[in-house]
Amino acid sequence: MSKRNTQQRRHGIVAYINEQGEASVDFLAQHFATSEVTIRKDLANLEQNGLLLRRYGGAIAMPSELVANEDSEEHVSVRKLAIANAAAARIRDHNRLIIDSGSTTASLIPLLNDKQGLIVMTNSLNVANALNELENEPTLLMTGGTWDPHSEAFQGQVAESVLRSYDFDQLFIGADGIDIARGTTTFNELIGLSRVMAEVSREVVVMVESSKVGRRIPNQELPWQSISTLITDDGLSADAKQQIEQCGVQVICASVE
């Protein structure tokens, strides 16, 4: 099924559930003449994008109080989506990717549905589950390792050893902050896995909102010499962009409409 048909079906699902308040998987499968597996993937994608809530056997409309909260953070979601679109444009069919944990990197997942033959490694259960919902079903690899509740991802020596068994075309990674002089920074003290991810990837792409540029956080994660590309939004100042580019990093400022 084409990407356009998928989008049309998902718009139809949201419209129906908003009108009726709820719908079951089996009803939606019959109504849209598709399989229950496809509908479940649709519902997972729509829930991830804040358009409905899944319930056992189906889904319900997003409660009004949650919709209000989403609207208050709408500018953040728009910026993340713009960054994700710019990142997705750099991915070719059959690429071997690492996608790190984090909300900005996770926003990339739905945009991979038109990419073919991808192999994706992640240390995040949330990212793994989202990848598993894609219709094109990329090959999914997990690092395993020790669960870190702070980052909600696997870390440690086992994860590092698994990563070193492969090589990858691209790493997509977020950051808690950007120190213009040093590189990416993080609140998490477990930074070893991020550095191994960068070591085994030909291109390291950092995805971060411009509001995080200039944040001074003690723990440096990746120095600029380990980073190929920084993708941010058009809120980045011209001066900051120039300083980062002088460190040998390509800077892409995605337009936020």
Give the residue from 175, 179, 222 showing the smallest Cα distance to 198. 222
| Burial 65-96, CB ≥16 within 10 A → b, else e | eeeeeeeeeeeeeebbbbbbebbbebbeeebb
Structure-token pair, residue 81: 């989506």
Give the right CATH number for 74-254 from 3.90.1180.10, 1.10.3720.10, 3.40.109.10, 3.40.50.1360.
3.40.50.1360
Please give the Cα distance from 56 to 73 (Å, whole number).
28
Give the model's pLDDT for residue 4: 62
Give the model's pLDDT for residue 199: 96
Give the model's pLDDT for residue 153: 86
User: What pTM, to 2 d.p., does this model score?
Assistant: 0.71
Give the right CATH number for 3-70 from 3.40.50.620, 1.10.150.120, 1.10.10.10, 3.20.20.10.
1.10.10.10
Tens of pLDDT, residue by residue over 102-160, are: 888 989 999 999 899 999 999 998 899 999 889 888 999 999 999 876 667 899 999 99
- DSSP letter at 91 equals P
Give the model's pLDDT for residue 150: 64
Please give the Cα distance from 79 to 156 (Å, whole number).
31
β-partners of residue 229 are 205, 250
Give the model's pLDDT for residue 87: 97
Give the model's pLDDT for residue 211: 87
The CB-based long-range contact list for 159-166 (8 Å cut-off, 24+ gap) reads 159/123, 159/193, 160/192, 160/193, 160/196, 163/98, 163/121, 163/193, 163/196, 163/197, 163/200, 164/196, 164/199, 164/200, 166/96, 166/121, 166/141, 166/200
Please give the Cα distance from 88 to 31 (Å, whole number).
32
Give the model's pLDDT for residue 54: 81
User: pLDDT in tens for each of the 257 residues of the chain?
Assistant: 455 688 889 999 999 999 898 999 999 999 999 999 999 888 888 876 778 888 778 888 876 544 444 444 455 678 889 999 999 999 999 999 999 988 889 899 999 998 999 999 999 988 999 998 898 889 999 999 998 766 678 999 999 999 999 999 999 999 988 999 999 988 666 678 999 999 999 999 999 999 889 876 778 899 999 999 999 999 999 999 999 999 999 999 999 87
Give the model's pLDDT for residue 72: 43
| Helix runs in 116-210, H state only | 125-132, 157-163, 192-199
The single residue listed with the structure tokens 């600029």 is 224
Which amino acid type is present at position 257? E
The domains of the chain are located at: 3-70, 74-254
Answer yes or no: are the C-beta atoms of 188 and 226 closer than 8 Å: no
Give the residue from 254, 180, 163, 257 showing the smallest Cα distance to 216. 180
